[in-house]
Each structure stands twice: as structure tokens, then as C-alpha cells.
Amino acid sequence: MHLNAYSHLVLAHRFGVRLAERGRGGVILVGSPGAEHGIPWLAAHAAAKAYVNTLGRGLHAEFTARGLSLLLLAPGATATELAARRGLPTTGAMPVSDCVSRALRGLESGRAVVIPGLAARVLARMPVRLTQRMLGRVMASAAQRGDAEARRSAS
């Protein structure tokens, strides 16, 4: 919770003060589409990301009033090392460089939220029960693969 929630608040505050003194600059907070729906097998992470989503939307107005930029980036599946280590599906995952490019364009244009990737935008608008069911299956499968790998490593 400290890394995925509290650190966003602390860093936004610390950098926000410095950027306000300079009179320019911006911050990108990384949330998650659909986090407010709750994600089975990843509930604490989803709760932390839902906090970041809410924080980012609120702070955007405060930063804008001071002539600064704040963007909430809510990417979907992104091809990262962490996703690979967790055994998450990589089909349709966007390259990190695409995600970063979209975030920087959004920050520069003054947008409040950027949700890169069609699948992520659809996920963010889906009914809660359907999102929970779909993501729950994906995360349960990843958890089972992780458990099996841990048992193999222990033997």
C-alpha cells in the first residue's frame, strides 16, 4: 500500500511544491483502468490503484489552477518485466514505449486522464460484474501458475 498508494501522494505533494515555485512542470501518476471495480486475486493492488485514480483526478484541478500539469495514466496490459514474471498474458499488451509516448502527449496537452490501448478503454467502461469475472479468471490463472512454479522450485 505504501508503494502503490501513499508514495503517489507524497511524491505529488513534494514535486508539486517545487514545480509551483518554478511556475511550470508536470507530474504523471500511474493508476489502472477498472481498478475501482475490484480485481479478484489482486484486491489490495486494485484498491491502491483505485486510490491513485481518485487522487489523480482530484489533483489535476489543483495543479491546473497553479499553471502545472498532472496526468493520471491508466494503462491496460503493458509488456513489462513484472508482467512476464507474474505470468500474465502478453497477447495484446502494448509496448512500454507506446505507453510512455501516449502519457507524455497527454501531459503536454493538459489532459486529466489518458487510458492507452483500446482494451483498457473498453475495460474501464465495462459493468463491474463482468470486469471482476474476466480479471478474476486471468489473475486466478496467473496465481495458479505462480503456485505451481513455487512448488517446482522448492523440490
Domains identified in the chain, total number? 1
Separation between Cα atoms, residue 152 and residue 49, nearest integer Å: 32
Separation between Cα atoms, residue 19 and residue 25, nearest integer Å: 6
Pairing of strands 94-95, 69-73: unpaired
Separation between Cα atoms, residue 19 and residue 2, nearest integer Å: 23
152 in any annotated domain:
no
106 in any annotated domain:
yes
82 in any annotated domain:
yes
39: domain CATH number is 3.40.50.720
Q: Are 13 and 21 in contact (CB under 8 A)?
A: no
For every one of its 155 residues, what pLDDT tens digit does the chain have, with 9 covering 90 and above?
778 889 999 999 999 999 999 999 999 999 988 787 777 777 888 899 999 999 999 999 999 999 999 999 999 888 888 888 877 777 778 999 999 999 999 999 999 999 998 767 777 677 767 766 777 677 677 666 655 665 666 66
Run of H or E including 78 = strand 78-79
Q: Are 19 and 27 in contact (CB under 8 A)?
A: yes
Run of H or E including 30 = strand 26-30
Backbone angles phi, psi at 80, to 5 degrees: -115, 165
Backbone angles phi, psi at 110, to 5 degrees: 85, 15
119 in any annotated domain:
yes
| DSSP summary character for residue 14 | H
Best CA proximity match to 69, nearest among 10, 116, 115, 27 = 27
153 in any annotated domain:
no
Separation between Cα atoms, residue 56 and residue 43, nearest integer Å: 20
The x, y and z cell numbers of residue 1, run together, are 500500500
27 in any annotated domain:
yes
> Domain range holding 118?
2-147
154 in any annotated domain:
no
